[in-house]
């Protein structure tokens, strides 16, 4: 009786493709499930990486036209228009020339700033992500972009009392919050 049941199971698994008879290996059901889960995780991770790259490219375009070697009239530098005090606060002790000539360093600084701002703004992200305020969809990516423009303090003030910070060009943090909302980024 056991031989009939085993033979029946083997036939069923072969017909489902769980057993690859041409190789001679019989993967367990657990191995098959784990393999499928790993494929799905890799697909999801690639999606988040693609979204983050799209977000960074779009923020960089808004800030500098994605030019690494540019400085504006207020001294903000590079693709993401970093100020010296922000770089220093993040632990980047470099000269203007070192920063402007090193795209990799600028990308590292941007990731460090995003992670720092996410940590400091996490409770606001937890509360407001997915909400609509004054007709504007709020998301993690929009909050982080707004913090990039005006600092985390200005984002906190906006959510606490509605005060909207503007930069030297008159750009409001709410413009960044709206423009950069909806990117499916996952920062850890």
Q: What is the DSSP string of 81-150?
A: TB-HHHHHHTT----HHHHHT-HHHHHHHHHHHHHHHHHHHHHHHHHHTT-EETTEE--HHHHHHHHHHH
Helix axes 103-128, 29-64, angle to 10 degrees: 110
* Lowest model confidence (mean pLDDT) among 14-18, 25-29, 91-95: 14-18
How far, in Å, are 80, 91, 158 from residue 172 at the CA level?
16, 27, 11
**Residue closest to 152 by CA, chosen among 168, 170, 173:** 173
Could you tell me how far CA 110 lies from the centroid of its own chain? Answer: 11
More confident residue, 111 or 36: 111
Per-residue pLDDT for 106 more than 80? yes
Give residue 7's pLDDT band: very low, low, confident or very high (50, 70, 90). very low
Q: Is the pLDDT of residue 19 over 70?
A: no
71 and 101 in contact (C-beta within 8 Å)?
no
The architecture that CATH gives domain 28-179 is Orthogonal Bundle (1.10)
Average pLDDT of the residues of the chain: 89
111: left (phi over 0), alpha (psi -120 to 50) or beta: alpha
d(CA 9, CA 15): 10
What 3-state class would DSSP assign to 173?
helix
Give residue 33's pLDDT.
Answer: 84
Given a cut of 90, is residue 32 above it in pLDDT?
no
- Residues 146/154, Cβ–Cβ less than 8 Å: yes
Residue 20 predicted with pLDDT over 70: no
Distance CA 141, CA 56 (A): 10
Q: What is the mean pLDDT of residues 85-98?
A: 96
Provide the pLDDT confidence category of residue 31 given band limits of 50, 70 and 90.
confident
Residue 24's pLDDT is what?
A: 53
- Write the pLDDT tens digit of every residue in 112-139: 999 999 999 999 999 999 999 989 999 9
The pLDDT of 44-63, averaged and rounded, is: 95
pLDDT value for 35: 82
| pLDDT at 188 > cutoff 80 | no
Q: Are 79 and 152 in contact (CB under 8 A)?
A: no
Look-up: residue for tokens 């001679």?
A: 24
- Read off the pLDDT band of 5 (50, 70, 90): low
* pLDDT higher than threshold 70 for residue 9: no
Distance CA 57, CA 148 (A): 14
Please give the model's pTM, rounded to 2 decimal places.
0.80
The arithmetic mean of pLDDT across residues 52-72, rounded, is: 98
């Amino acid at each position: 009786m056991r031989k009939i049941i085993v033979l029946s199971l083997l036939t069923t698994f072969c017909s489902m493709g769980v057993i690859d008879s041409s190789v001679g290996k019989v993967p367990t059901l657990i191995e098959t499930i784990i393999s499928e889960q790993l494929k799905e995780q890799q697909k999801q991770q690639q999606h988040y990486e693609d979204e983050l790259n799209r977000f960074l490219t779009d923020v960089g375009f808004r800030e500098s036209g994605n030019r690494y070697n540019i400085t504006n009239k207020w001294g903000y530098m590079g693709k993401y228009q970093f100020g010296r005090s922000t770089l220093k606060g993040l632990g980047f002790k470099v000269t203007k020339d070192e920063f402007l000539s090193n795209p990799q360093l600028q990308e590292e600084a941007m990731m460090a700033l995003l992670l720092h701002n996410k940590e400091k703004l996490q409770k606001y992200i937890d509360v407001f992500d997915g909400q609509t305020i004054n007709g504007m969809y709020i998301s993690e990516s929009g909050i982080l972009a707004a913090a990039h423009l005006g600092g985390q303090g200005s984002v906190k003030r906006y959510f606490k009392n509605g005060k909207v910070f503007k930069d030297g060009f008159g750009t409001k943090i709410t413009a960044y919050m709206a423009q950069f909302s909806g990117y499916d980024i996952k920062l850890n």
